[in-house]
Amino acid sequence: MRLVLLGAPGSGKGTQAQKLVQKYRIPQVSTGDLLRDAVARKTALGLEAKAAMDAGKLVADTIVLAMIRERLARPDAARGFILDGFPRNVAQADALGTLLSKMGKPLDSVVLMDIDTKVLFKRLTGRRTCRRCARVFNIYTNPPGKKPDCEGGRTHDLFQRPDDNEETISHRLEVYEAQTRPLVAYYRRRRLLKVIDATGELDDVFARLERAIPGTDAAKSGKRAAPARRRRPAKRPGKGNTMAGKTVKKTVRKAVRMEKKAAKSIRKTTRSAAKSVKRATTKLGKALRRAVKPTVADRATAPLRAAGKSAKRAVKRTASKARKATRPSAAKRAKRTVKKSVRKVRR
C-alpha cells in the first residue's frame, strides 16, 4: 500500500493513518512529525523550520524533500507507506512523483479527507498529543480512555501543539486552500484521487477510508467509496444558496415550463392540421373514384394527391419555422425575467 492522505489540517489524516499503521503494519510518514522531531532535537534543519511552523507557513520544499527522500529509503518503507501531510503543494507532488518512479514504486492512491471548516476548528483546538507515545487525542471528540494505556501502563502525558492556537490555525487553513487544495485537481487528473467524508465517528471514517483504498478487503468486498466529486464553488448570493437565489431559480423554472407548454401546443396544432389535409384528400379521391372509371379517377386524383403531399410538407415547414421562432423568444423572455430578478436581488 503506497498511499497519500490529503486533507486540511485537522481533517484526521494523522489519526486515520495511525489506525492504518496498526492494521496493515506499514509506516506512517508524517512530514509534520519529522519536522517537530527535528525542532525538538534542535538540529540545524529543525531550527530553520521552526519559524515557518510557528507562523503556520509551509517549510521550504528543499528541507521537506530531503527528509522524505531519507525516510522513504529506510527498509520499513519497502512494503509501503502512508504519506500524511506530504505533498503540500504542486512542486512537492512533482518531486514525489519523480522520486517514486525512480524507485519503481508509484503511488497506489490518494485519498482526500473531505471536511467542513467549522468542524476543523473544533478538532484543531481540541487536539492533544501524548509526549511519550505520540498518540493523538481530542478532548471533545476522542478523549483518552479512563484506563491508563500509554507505554508501561501509564496515563498519557498530553500537550497541545503550539501551532494549534486560533490565529495559526486560520493561517494554516489559508495556506491549505492556496497551496495544497490544487493537489485535488492534480491527482484527479492522474486518476489517483478518491474522496471520503471525514466527518463522524473515527471508526466510520476508517471504514470509509479502507473502502477507498484499492486492495484492502473492505474495497474488495464491494462497497465502493464515493467517487471523486468536485468541490462546490464558494457560495455566492444569487447562486441558489439564499432566498434570493431561490427566487431566481423559481423564475427560470417557470420560464422553462412556459416554453415547453408553447412548444407542445404548436406540435398539437401541426399534427391536427396535417391530419385534416390528409382526410380531405382521401375523401375527394374516393368521391372521384366512385364517379369515374378507376384508371381515369387515379389519373384525375394524382395532382390532388401531390397537392395534398405538398400541402402536408408546407404545413410541416411552417410548423417547424413556428417552433424555431417561438423557442428563442421564450428563451429571451426567460432571460429577461431572470435578469430582472437578479437586479431586484442585488438592489
**Least gap, CB of 44 to ligand AMP (angstroms):** 17
- Grid cell for residue 126: 481540541
> Binding mask 92-131 vs ligand AMP (x if CB under 6 A, - otherwise)?
x---------------------------------------
Q: What are the angstrom distances between the C-alpha of 295 and each of 238, 283, 304, 305? A: 72, 17, 15, 15
Residue 161 has φ and ψ, to the nearest 5°, of -65, 140
Quote the least distance from Cβ 111 to ligand AMP, whole Å.
15
Phi, psi (degrees; rounded to nearest 5) at 171:
-65, -40
Q: Is residue 81 at the binding interface for ligand AMP, with CB under 6 A as the rule?
A: no
Regarding 32 and contact with ligand AMP (CB under 6 A), the answer is yes
Q: Give the number of residues in contact with ligand AMP, rule: CB under 6 A.
A: 17
- Smallest CA-to-CA distance from 239 within 333, 342, 339 is with 342
Contact by Cβ (8 Å): 173, 120: yes
Q: Which is nearer to ligand AMP, 52 or 150 (CB)?
A: 52
Nearer to ligand AMP (CB atom), residue 9 or residue 46? 9
3-class DSSP assignment, residue 85: coil
Question: Binding string to ligand AMP for residues 163 to 202, with x set by CB under 6 A, is what?
Answer: x--------x------------------------------
The reply to whether 285 sits near ligand AMP by the rule CB under 6 A is no
By annotation, the residues acting in catalysis are 13, 88, 127, 161, 172
Q: What's the alpha-carbon Rg for the chain, to the nearest Å?
A: 34
Q: Does residue number 311 form part of the binding site for ligand AMP (CB under 6 A)?
A: no
Compute the distance between CA of residue 87 and CA of residue 332 in angstroms, rounded to an integer. Answer: 49
142-170 burial: b if 16+ Cβ within 10 Å, else e:
bebeeeeebeeeeebebeeeebbeeebbe
What are the residues binding ligand AMP (CB under 6 A)?
9, 31-32, 35, 52-53, 56-59, 64, 85-86, 88, 92, 163, 172
